[in-house]
Structure 1
Amino acid sequence: MSATFTIGGLPDRTITYQEREYLFFSGTAYLGLPQNPAFQQLLADQISCYGTVFGSSRNGNLQLSIYEEAEAKLAATVGSDTALTLSSGMMAGQAVVNLLQAQQTAFVYGPKAHPAIWNGPNVSIPSVRFSDWTAQLPDQLQKMTPGPVAILVNSIEAVRSEYYSFDWVDDLPTDRPITLVIDDSHGLGVLNNGRGIWPQVAQKPNVNLIVTASTAKAMGLPGGVIFGNLETLNKLRGTAFFGACSPIPPVYLAAYLQAGTLYEEGWDKLRQNLILAERLLVPTGLFTHAKGYPVFFTEQDDLYPFLLERDVFIYSFAYPTATDRANSRIVISAFHELADIQKLAECVYAYCF
């Protein structure tokens, strides 16, 4: 198991541990917003207005307009009818799951579905490849008792850097109501020019599409969001689960509303970094990598200590539970410089050759 580094500040393109500096190629700050001084200044500028937290229910008799303004922008960016923010991606997923449970819905899970959209601690998660699972799905649905069904999946295989096709949605049966829940935590802000998975999924009359996501990754905001139609999100807002949740701190949404240029710059910088990383790393044959996605996965777990000796720190720890195998992957971010990627590649070449 990989040793744990404990440091005294937010990781940036480098970290310092025991007086030694390492290039940092881990985390999920794909657009580099938490480390961006301009984004930090936006937060500082707004904190006198919004404070550090809004300790109230979103259903209370005092409302802050910043929530509806930010949710309208999020929905417009993604392409959904509306959006609803919560305090975390886990809360977003569980709010949806709780609503579906109350509606007596049968649950069908896709491979490696994120725990945020589990309806209990012991759900049955298929171990087959995603494409094989989707091929079997029509038969599985055919054998189920008539009634509403929820299909719950991830938008991407973020650990192993593999895209999922959603063409199978077109072939879903039309004889029953289906709710398709997609956890887009690793896609929002990255996939489809930052719009996430929403525009990639076909709309069908009997399929109610709900997308949940953490905003604490590419978006750089400590919270979560649900995208869907107005009827569904109004039902969610009326639940005790949502009413009892603390909301995302409003200062972050105020900064988000003013950070459009910073998100565009982050996306452009990430794309430039990925062009170089793909040109240098893919030919080694060492990595599984979805073109245009900022993760390079390897089965060679001993790459981690090799790079660490050369002052390069990459992702390598057991996930999602402590008993799982350590996943080794390189994460590229907008905060990296081209020279950082060149140094990384030189070290990877030394490992390979």
Structure 2
Amino acid sequence: MAINSNTHPSIWIDEQPEANGTFKNWSKETLQLINTSTEKNWILISNAMNNLVPEVYDFSFLNNIEPDKNITLIVDDSHGIGINNQGLSAFSSLPERENISHVVVASMAKALGVDAGLILGSEKIIMQLKSTSTFVGASPPAAAGIYAFMHAESIYKKQWLKLQDNINLLTRNLNQSWKYAPGFPAFLIDDATIDQQLWKHNILISSFPYPTPASKPINRVILCSWHEHSDINRLCNTIGLFS
């Protein structure tokens, strides 16, 4: 088993994985570990992206795994589903190999705004999960929310386009101090006081310690499709006062 250190705490086996460094380094180390090992069956666990930096992960390294290795890849796409890949999940972007089984799990409560979760995988894997006591005993989401989700495709498409327009406007007005991934609405800055400075101007941004309460706080601007250009221009003008 190989677990990326940036994987969400909800799918840690026990405590934070020992692996450190970037996803690129983890992928290289994992590839070498698998291909040089006599073990044939492997489970890989990772987020689809690091939403804090942010960075969308590239799983193409899996194409270089020896064909005699059997891989089960579990990916948490909670932060990317509804935004990345034209709003689709990471499932369609994962390498397709006969020796690799994909499982994508995600909360739908973030970009999709539905109090529910989902699991994507092959029919065989889904049927196996449905036979577990954990699945049978789980509480279903509210029917009203799922009904609205199933009938809101045109609304999601419209709001996704508006969000991308908002992202483009903000990126054109930020300097190189900010870190972001193309098309993703989270903007990180290594400034411990910017949240307090913006708060003085009645602008509230995301600021909290992660992944544990003792961790250093991270400060990010998070855009939504309900933000208007006037909101973004006001934010940029305010940032310009002290940057």
* TM-score normalised by L of structure 2: 0.96
**Which runs of structure 2 are paired with 1:182-261 in the superposition (5 Å)?**
182-261=75-154
SS state at 1:222 partner: coil
How far apart, in 2, do the equivalents of 1:324 and 1:144 lie?
A: 35
How far apart, in 2, do the equivalents of 1:179 and 1:303 lie?
A: 42
How far apart, in 1, do the equivalents of 2:75 and 2:185 lie?
A: 20
Residue in 2 aligned with 1:109?
Answer: 3
SS state at 1:181 partner: strand
Contact 1:183 1:212 in 2 (8 A): yes
How far apart, in 2, do the equivalents of 1:124 and 1:157 lie?
A: 15
Q: Does 1:332 align with 2:223?
A: yes
Structure 1 segments, 4+ long, off by >3 Å, are 142-145
CA distance change for structure 1 residues 335 and 125 in 2, over 3 Å: closer, same or farther? farther
Alpha-carbon shift at residue 350 of structure 1 (Å): 1.1
Residue 206 of structure 2 aligns to which amino acid in structure 1? Y
Residue in 1 aligned with 2:71?
Answer: 178
How far apart, in 2, do the equivalents of 1:340 and 1:191 lie?
A: 23
State the structure with more CA Rg: 1
Alpha-carbon shift at residue 176 of structure 1 (Å): 2.4
Q: Does 1:161 align with 2:32?
A: no
RMSD over aligned CA atoms reads 1.3
Alpha-carbon shift at residue 249 of structure 1 (Å): 1.5
Contact 1:113 1:125 in 2 (8 A): no
CA distance change for structure 1 residues 220 and 125 in 2, over 3 Å: closer, same or farther? farther
Relative contact order (C-alpha < 8 Å, sep 6+): which is higher?
1
SS state at 1:180 partner: strand
Residue 329 of structure 1 aligns to which amino acid in structure 2? R
How far apart, in 2, do the equivalents of 1:123 and 1:306 lie?
A: 33
**Which runs of structure 2 are paired with 1:9-24 in the superposition (5 Å)?**
none
Contact 2:9 2:16 in 1 (8 A): no
How far apart, in 1, do the equivalents of 2:13 and 2:235 lie?
A: 41
Residue 254 of structure 1 aligns to which amino acid in structure 2? Y
Equivalent pairs, count: 243
How far apart, in 2, do the equivalents of 1:257 and 1:299 lie?
A: 39
SS state at 1:182 partner: strand
Residue in 2 aligned with 1:348?
Answer: 239
Contact 2:77 2:104 in 1 (8 A): yes
CA distance change for structure 1 residues 125 and 191 in 2, over 3 Å: closer, same or farther? farther
Consecutive unaligned residues of structure 1, counting only runs of 5 or more, are 1-106
Greater per-residue helix proportion:
1
Sequence identity percentage? 27
Residue 259 of structure 1 aligns to which amino acid in structure 2? A
Residue in 2 aligned with 1:280?
Answer: 173
Residue 237 of structure 2 aligns to which amino acid in structure 1? E
* TM-score normalised by L of structure 1: 0.67
How far apart, in 2, do the equivalents of 1:316 and 1:123 lie?
A: 22
**Which runs of structure 2 are paired with 1:53-92 in the superposition (5 Å)?**
none
Once the two structures are superposed, what CA deviation does each residue of 1:250-277 show, in whole Å capped at 9, x if it has no partner?
2111111111111011101101111111
